[in-house]
């Protein structure tokens, strides 16, 4: 488990690539380390996109205690030809495992 740094993302992607034998489609959040980590691990043998969620600015006095209000999202295709339907499915199913990897280091 690691933090949300490029080095940890790269180690994770290389480990993932070593466990797979087929070309995959991967959708991640908009973390800045993922595109380079995916490139390092998979080169061009992947269909990769980022799903970047957009949020409204918090109202005065609510920034600390209220959850952000989602206003939309955009898909940024990085390489290959990922399909949006599959991207949405992959995002929802990968959320738990990605958070487990990315958040584990921050738990007390």
- Indicate whether 99 belongs to any domain: yes
pLDDT 10s digits, 4-15: 899 999 999 999
Query: Which DSSP category does 64 fall into?
Result: T
How would you classify the pairing of strands 70-79 and 47-55? antiparallel
Residue 101 lies in a domain: yes
Compute the distance between CA of residue 11 and CA of residue 40 in angstroms, rounded to an integer. Answer: 10
Q: Which two tokens stand for residue 41?
A: 């691990």
Domain that holds residue 67: 6-106
Cα–Cα distance, 41 to 99 (Å, whole number): 20
As for how many domains the chain has, the answer is 1
Q: What is the DSSP string of 72-100?
A: EEEEEEEES---HHHHHHHHHHHHHHHHH
For residue 98, tell me if it sits in a domain: yes
Q: Is there a domain that residue 29 lies in?
A: yes
Residue 1 lies in a domain: no
- Sheet of 25-28, strands arranged across: 25-28, 47-55, 70-79
Can you read off the two tokens belonging to residue 44? 């061009």
Give per-residue pLDDT as tens, 46-90.
999 999 998 887 766 655 667 778 899 888 898 888 876 544 544
Residue 76 lies in a domain: yes
pTM (global) more than 0.85: no
């Amino acid at each position: 488990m690691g933090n949300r740094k490029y080095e940890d993302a790269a180690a994770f992607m290389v480990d993932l690539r070593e466990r797979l034998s087929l070309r995959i489609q991967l959708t991640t959040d908009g973390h800045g380390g993922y595109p380079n980590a995916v490139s390092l691990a998979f080169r061009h043998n992947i269909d990769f996109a980022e799903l970047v969620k957009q949020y409204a600015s918090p109202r005065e006095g609510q920034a600390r205690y209220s959850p952000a209000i989602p206003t939309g999202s955009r898909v940024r295709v990085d390489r290959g030809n990922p399909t949006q339907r599959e991207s949405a499915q992959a995002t929802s199913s990968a959320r738990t495992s990605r958070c487990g990897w990315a958040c584990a280091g921050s738990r007390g």
